């Protein structure tokens, strides 16, 4: 294993580290044992990731003194459901895991959100470790402690803040991703570049240093606003208000998260040009970056504007009858606006056609 990049998430009550590098899975047991005493543990993964990496992680855990059992859920967004949380908890009960046990989330964003929520509610909260295996999860969803599952009425509406004890991002896992899933992850990288680090738009490659650069952006924002009470953490929602609406209207699983966020980013850029002073040239840099990863720029005609708008109204970012929408004054200069009207949002959705 090569030397790991280390990024600290400096929370006042529960700080932790994100370790990034090629080959980290092979030493995952020892890395985890450095923050959690060896104990009974459950490895939660999915049907795509389990055949690739679960044996290696469990072997490493066993060498370090842990006693792992495995839960494998079907791959895909449909597994982000309370029924799967119950199934995970039932397996943990049957295996004799208690409040002194550990959960290891091995997979992409769906597994991180699902398993993290199971850890948050099992025995009212047990420690857990994130081992993200996709670009989306390595640069974004594994950091920050937001866990949860989907409800019939919207994405991530059932959840809890529950910070991991450690995040281990092995960049070699990215080599096994299908092209479409690899590409979708860059929507979150481009989002981070847009709100905080425009220079990244010139260096978009899945290297440990780029992953670390993204993690540092999210870690800094999370450390300042862990529970999203100050407004700062909302900046991470750039492109997500309309993006989540499109994802819901399309039907979960029919469009990858990053593909929906790509459309949300483009809509947010158009609104930023009209309302916040973003220039056409700056917006073009974002659209060109998205195009470089074959991310969509057109909304399918089968997805109705009103269906997207209805989903947006149920989103957590819609509060007290007003839409809290992240706009850009310029690349790297994001802020939260509550001045947009319903008509502004509908127009932005229509502009994607």
CATH match of 228-350 with 3.40.47.10: no
Spot the catalytic one: 5, 70, 80, 233.
233
Query: 285: Cβ–Cβ under 8 A, 6 or more apart, which residues?
Result: 198, 201, 331
- Give residue for tokens 């029919």: 254
pLDDT in tens, the chain (353 residues): 678 999 999 999 999 999 999 999 999 999 999 999 999 999 999 999 999 999 999 999 999 999 999 999 999 999 999 999 999 999 999 999 999 999 999 999 999 999 999 999 999 999 999 999 999 999 999 999 999 999 887 788 999 999 999 999 999 999 999 999 999 999 999 999 999 999 999 999 999 999 999 999 999 999 999 998 888 999 999 999 999 999 999 987 789 999 999 999 999 999 999 999 999 999 999 999 999 999 999 999 999 999 999 999 887 656 555 678 999 999 999 999 999 999 999 999 999 99
Domain boundaries, the chain: 5-177, 228-350
Spot the catalytic one: 13, 124, 280, 298.
124
CA distances to 6, 122, 148, 247, 316 from 116, in Å: 22, 10, 7, 22, 19
The answer, as to whether pTM is greater than 0.85, is yes
CA angle 59, 132, 46 (to 5 degrees): 70
Spot the catalytic one: 80, 226, 237, 282.
237
For residues 53 and 230, what is the distance between their CA atoms, to the nearest angstrom?
Answer: 39
Instruction: Specify whether the CB–CB gap between 240 and 136 falls below 8 A.
Output: no
First to last CA, the chain: 47
Instruction: Mark whether 228 is an active-site residue.
Output: yes
CA dihedral of 183, 189, 190, 191, whole degrees rounded to 10: 120
- Give residue for tokens 């850009």: 328
What's the confidence (pLDDT) of residue 320?
A: 58
Instruction: Mark whether 233 is an active-site residue.
Output: yes
Spot the catalytic one: 257, 282, 285, 324.
257
CA distances to 26, 88, 107 from 44, in Å: 17, 8, 8
Report the 10 Å Cβ neighbour count for 22: 17
Spot the catalytic one: 70, 80, 213, 218.
218
52-55 own/partner pairs: CB under 8 Å, 24+ apart: 52/133, 52/173, 52/176, 53/25, 53/106, 53/133, 53/173, 54/106
Instruction: Mark whether 316 is an active-site residue.
Output: no
Instruction: Mark whether 285 is an active-site residue.
Output: no
What b/e sequence results for 174-210 when a residue is b if at least 16 CB atoms lie within 10 Å of its CB, and e otherwise? beebeeebbbbbbbbbbbbbbbbbbebbeeeebebeb
For residues 45 and 52, what is the distance between their CA atoms, to the nearest angstrom?
Answer: 11
105 forms beta bridges with: 44, 130
Spot the catalytic one: 155, 192, 240, 324.
240
Report the 10 Å Cβ neighbour count for 84: 22
Domain 5-177 sits in CATH at 3.40.50.1970
Instruction: Mark whether 6 is an active-site residue.
Output: no
Instruction: Mark whether 63 is an active-site residue.
Output: no
Spot the catalytic one: 5, 80, 146, 213.
146
Instruction: Mark whether 77 is an active-site residue.
Output: no
For residues 290 and 294, what is the distance between their CA atoms, to the nearest angstrom?
Answer: 7
What's the confidence (pLDDT) of residue 319?
A: 56
Instruction: Mark whether 314 is an active-site residue.
Output: no
What's the confidence (pLDDT) of residue 1?
A: 64
Spot the catalytic one: 17, 162, 244, 324.
244
């Amino acid at each position: 294993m090569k030397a790991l990049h280390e990024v600290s998430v400096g929370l006042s009550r529960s700080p932790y580290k994100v370790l990034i590098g090629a080959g980290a899975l092979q030493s995952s047991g020892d890395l985890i044992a450095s923050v959690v005493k060896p104990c009974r543990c459950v490895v939660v993964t999915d049907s795509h990731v389990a055949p690739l990496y679960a044996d290696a992680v469990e072997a490493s855990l066993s060498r370090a003194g842990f006693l792992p059992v495995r839960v494998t859920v079907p791959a895909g967004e449909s597994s982000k459901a309370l029924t799967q949380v119950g199934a995970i908890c039932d397996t943990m009960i049957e295996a004799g895991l208690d409040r002194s046990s550990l959960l290891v989330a091995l997979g992409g964003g769906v597994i991180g959100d699902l398993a993290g929520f199971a850890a948050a509610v099992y025995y009212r909260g047990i420690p857990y470790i994130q081992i993200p295996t996709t670009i989306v999860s390595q640069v974004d969803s594994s950091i920050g402690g937001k866990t949860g599952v989907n409800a019939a009425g919207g994405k991530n509406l059932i959840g809890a803040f529950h910070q991991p004890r450690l995040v281990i991002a092995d960049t070699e896992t990215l080599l096994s991703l299908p092209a479409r899933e690899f590409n979708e992850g860059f929507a979150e990288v481009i989002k981070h570049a847009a709100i905080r680090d425009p220079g990244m738009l010139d260096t978009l490659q899945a290297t440990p240093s780029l992953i670390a650069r993204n993690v540092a952006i999210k870690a800094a924002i999370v450390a300042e606003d862990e529970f999203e009470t100050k407004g700062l953490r909302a900046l991470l929602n750039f492109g997500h208000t309309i993006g989540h609406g499109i994802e819901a209207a399309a039907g979960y699983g029919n469009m990858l998260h990053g593909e929906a966020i790509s459309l949300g980013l483009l809509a947010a850029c158009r609104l930023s040009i009209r309302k916040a002073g973003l220039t056409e040239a700056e917006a073009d840099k974002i659209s060109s970056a998205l195009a470089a990863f074959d991310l969509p720029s057109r909304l399918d005609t089968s997805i109705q504007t009103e269906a997207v708008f209805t989903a947006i109204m149920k989103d957590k970012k819609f509060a007290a009858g007003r839409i809290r929408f992240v706009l850009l004054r310029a690349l790297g200069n994001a802020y939260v606006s509550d001045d947009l009207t319903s008509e502004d949002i509908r127009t932005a959705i229509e502009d994607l056609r």
